[in-house]
Structure 1
Amino acid sequence: MPDRTRNIALFCLIRETGWTNAKFARQVNAVGTELRLGLRYDATAVSHWLKGTVPRPPTQAAILECLSRRLGRTITSSAAGFGPDAPTPDQADPVAALIDLWSADMDPSRRAVLGAVGLYSVTLAVPGWPDVVDRARRAQTAPGTRIGPNEVATVTAMSARLSDLDDEFGGSHVRPLASAFLGTTVARYLKCDASEETRKAMCSAAADLAYLTGWMAMDDGAHGLAQRYYVQALRLAGEGADHLTYCTALRGMSVQAIGLGHGRTALRYADAAAAAAPAAGPRLRAFLVGQQAHASAAVGARNDAKRQLREAETALEKATSRSGTVGGYHPAALHYHTSHVLYELGDLGGSIAAMQESNRCRPQTERRARARSTALLAERQFEYGHLEAACATWSEFLDDYPHVSSARCDDHAATLRQSVRRHPGNKIAQALSERAGLITRATRKT
């Protein structure tokens, strides 16, 4: 499209939103914040776009997502008058999709060109279980190369080890390892010849690792990448006839959505995960319904949230199986969900007590999860007016924070500094602020 040709398509979309140009610019800036773009557009910039100026690819991505969220449908580049849509890899070929995703994840220059890779999409179309099973297609095999149970065991063991490292050190440190293994070794295994049983087992193992890598990307603040990993986990789970990992990935997408403030989307994913679950054992049932309860509470569905929380409690009491790499659920996780439900329903005191119980139950190896739950506890203690208790809890968070590389923990550290600045006359708060500053500066240098 020539630069000075008026963009009628964009004009019509903005008119459909009901926003003024100034309001549209503010909404684009808000979406850009999720990409850490630091956009500062105003009504004048929108006028330039409408006159035919084509924004940079990262800005286009923010514009398209902003319109999609407002209008409730996916708005493409061509639909917004920005030119042809970018080609996408063959989504029916899991190997091509994994390699493309690994390349986008590890190559910052390509990520900048793709633009939308880093952006979370509220209107993402998620394939249902019948879809991923019906559309499953075996990738081309490499002649003369055959895999068996040993290769499946290798992928499973690597996923378990990477999961442990993620729990202890956070997603920022571990995701490059997981992504590289997924995009090279696992992708190669998926192209090899195998028996039907081994092929399904490999697809299942690959789905587990794709889900885990998506979780790490979410923890690192790369939400668009996380979504793409989750979708590949859904597709691979379908090829492997693995209902468990399919439901687990949907639940992970619900956790991501609720963390970004998209309650309705979170509930849609949580409900889909619970509905797609096979005859689930009690631990899996608790794992899925606990997230449903959190999502229901986030949208104000009080009765549903309370019922689902009771169901999760009952299911966990019956659980006897060991938790694994994917789908592990234990009392600390249940208390964590209870805390969120109570908080969303307005019971701040009950939320604090439940989070304290979660911390008491949490395994020592889950350092990143402990850091986050401790930070949430401190934030709610501050909100409750318990300044000294909050400072003591924040101090516990700072014990773990230097050892964890996590964008979510970085956000909690920023909240800590903002909170204590509100109490310049309190010596405990100021001492905590000084300690936080020292730790933050030291962390940035390493």
Structure 2
Amino acid sequence: MARRRNERLAELLEEAGWSRAQAASAFNRVAQENKLLDYTSIGRSHVSMWVGGTEPSGAAPAILCQALSRRLKRAITPDELGFASPHSPAQGTLDWDVDPLIVLTDLGRIDLDADRRKLIGGAVYSVAPLTLPGERWWQAMTQASQRTTPRQQQVGRGDVTMVEELTVAFSRMDQQRGGGHGRTAVVQYLHSDVADFLQGKFPSDQVRRDMFSAAGELAYLSAWMAFDNAEHAVAQRYFVLAAKLAARADNPPLVGHILRAMAHQALDLGFFKESLELSTASLEGQRYAAATPRERALLGVVHARGLATNGQQQAAAQSLLKAEDDLASARDGIHEPHRTFFFSGAALAHETACTLRDCGDRGGAIRQFRQSIRTRGAAFRRTHAVTLGYLGATQIANRSVEEACATWSGLLDAMEEGIYSGRARQAVYDVRKLLSPYRHRGIPVVAELDARAASYLARVD
């Protein structure tokens, strides 16, 4: 019996303005980002078969839907295309209603086993968990921890301090080398010692809440490192876990910090509507009101970026001004949480530049990117590389090809010093892509940089 043509898929490809080859290229890019190497060789013939009625297998429906969602800037689901949703044993960890201690145990069993880890790697970043639960859920999470039956292990203030200090050390390493360096050690500690602490006996409710906060920050760091290394499905699971632990701790500013990071990830992956919803939620109530000035500024600039990508330029400008005021009010004597240590004037300039770029102000974006590069300290090499990549991309979009090449030369210098970051590595892929229109024009700096980028990627891929 002849297969029935998938008219809905054909309509969406037409709406996206994609040929079959372009759709295949977008599909392969999403598969590569999610480390789904078995799905990175899709060609135009595969897309033609799907339009013709053949259903994609395995994780392919989710990959295709994510590619279309990014292009069309709205959520496209497998159900909408008549595809069966891919089964993933790790999918349950995204359920907001699953107890965080159960999630922590399940993620540990998977993430620390090379074979089982493929269960997470075989999943795709999903739009479903970006819809946050209602206020009653957050209240219930705070109350649930008070009903937990503890084990016999005694957990004290010194244990909390130890988790906090190790998180600080891992966080500084992440800023220096990128999320691809040392995350296994973070995960190991989280799933062994810290998981046991969370089920121990506490001398007071304050110590209990502080331990859950410390665990939430470490889970957040694991998520951020995975996000930075382009392991997006893994990162998403740890972000949700971190938010649950922060809710158990009754720590609204930490919840806001995590939602801000989830918004950042959604923004980078092209889920603009969902990103704005998450960044808006990060500013609600005590998440912003109880936060310190530096953290308020961080929440504000990510919100500004979300507004910009959703076409709300005036609101984005207002959000930037408010973030500037918040950061200006940070001063000695105000105890800031360590998780904000990286957010300085240089980081504000970087995020401001991204916002201006997304508003169409390339000149303003270039000035802010340069300001960020000039003022960032040596302790933040990973973000420095990312900023150089973004600056070069903005310069070449502004037809300043030789300036872009000079900027990207600095990016490659930074990467060759040992940065393990998927975001920074993606910037090098973008170098080759953005240089392609100029590759055969006989411009010496283009040829030299293109060859250097190709050599670097051949070594690291």
How does the TM-score come out when normalised to structure 1?
A: 0.85
Give distance in 2, aligned partners of 1:305 and 1:84.
Answer: 39
The total of aligned residue pairs comes to 430
> Is 2:123–2:233's contact at 8 Å kept on the other side of the alignment?
yes
Aligned residue among 228, 233, 249 for 2:237: 228
Aligned to 1:426: 443
In structure 2, C-alpha distance between the alignment counterparts of 1:179 and 1:22, rounded to whole Å: 43
95, 98, 103: which one pairs with 1:97? 103
CA spacing shift, 1:22–1:344, aligned 2, 3 Å? closer
* Match for residue 49 of structure 2 among 41, 44, 49: 44
Q: Which moved more, 1:402-411 or 1:313-322?
A: 313-322
Shift of 1:408: 1.0
8 Å Cα contact 1:155/1:206 also seen in 2 = yes
**Deviation per residue, 1:271-301 (Å, 9 max, x gap):** 1101142333322221111111111111110
- Residues 1:405 and 2:414 aligned together: no
Alignment correspondent of 1:214: 223
Q: Is the 8 A contact 1:371 1:409 kept in 2?
A: yes
Q: CA RMSD in A?
A: 3.3
What is residue 294 of structure 2 aligned with on the other side?
Answer: 283
Query: Equivalent residue for 1:330?
Result: 344
User: CA 1:396–1:84 in structure 2 vs 1: closer, same or farther (change >3 Å)?
Assistant: closer
Q: CA deviation at 1:409?
A: 1.1
Query: Structure 1 pair 21/261, CA: closer, same or farther in 2 (3 Å)?
Result: closer
Distance 1:20 1:375, change over 3 A: closer
- Which has the higher mean CA deviation after the structures are superposed, 210-219 or 142-151? 142-151
Partner of 1:435: 452
Unaligned runs of 5+ in 2: 33-38
Letter matched to residue 218 of structure 1: F
- For residue 174 of structure 1, what is the aligned residue in structure 2? 182
Give 1:140 shift: 5.3
Contact 1:254/1:270 (<8 A) preserved: yes
Identity of aligned residues (%): 28
Q: Deviations over 1:39-65 (max 9, x none)?
A: 343243465556xxxx54322543676
The 8 Å contact of residues 388 and 411 in structure 2, kept in 1 or not, is answered as: yes
Report if the CA contact (8 A) 1:104-1:110 is conserved. Answer: yes
Note the 1:197-208 alignment, pairs <5 A. 197-208=206-217
**Corresponding residue for 1:370?**
384
1:388 maps onto 2:398 in alignment: no
| TM-score (norm: length of structure 2) | 0.82
Residues 47-446 of structure 1 aligned to structure 2 (within 5 Å): 49=54, 56-62=57-63, 81=84, 88=92, 91-113=97-119, 117-121=123-127, 124-128=130-134, 130-136=136-142, 137-138=144-145, 141=149, 143-194=151-202, 195-276=204-285, 277=287, 278-320=289-331, 321=334, 324-328=337-341, 329-402=343-416, 403-421=418-436, 422-424=438-440, 425-444=442-461
1:331–1:358 Cα contact (<8 Å) kept: yes
Structure 1 range deviating more: 82-91 or 39-48: 82-91
* Counterpart Cα distance in 2 of 1:104 and 1:308: 40
How far, CA to CA, are the matches of 1:16 and 1:419 in structure 2? 32
Shift of 1:415: 1.7
CA-to-partner distance for each residue in 1:390-446, whole Å, 9 max, x for gaps?
A: 2221121112112101111111111223344524412223233333344444445xx
Q: Is the 8 A contact 2:213 2:251 kept in 1?
A: yes
Residues 179 and 131 of structure 1: CA distance in aligned 2, closer, same or farther (over 3 Å) = same
Given that 1:73 and 1:123 are in contact with CA atoms closer than 8 Å, whether structure 2 keeps it comes out as: no
The structure 2 residue matched to 1:33, chosen from 19, 29, 48, is: 29
Structure 1 position 104, deviation (Å): 3.1
**Alignment partner of 1:57: what SS?**
coil
CA shift, 1:357, in A, is: 0.4
Residues 220 and 408 of structure 1 are in contact (CA less than 8 Å); yes or no, is this contact kept in structure 2? yes
- 8 Å contact 1:208–1:233 — kept in the other structure? yes
State the AA in 2 paired with 1:410.
R
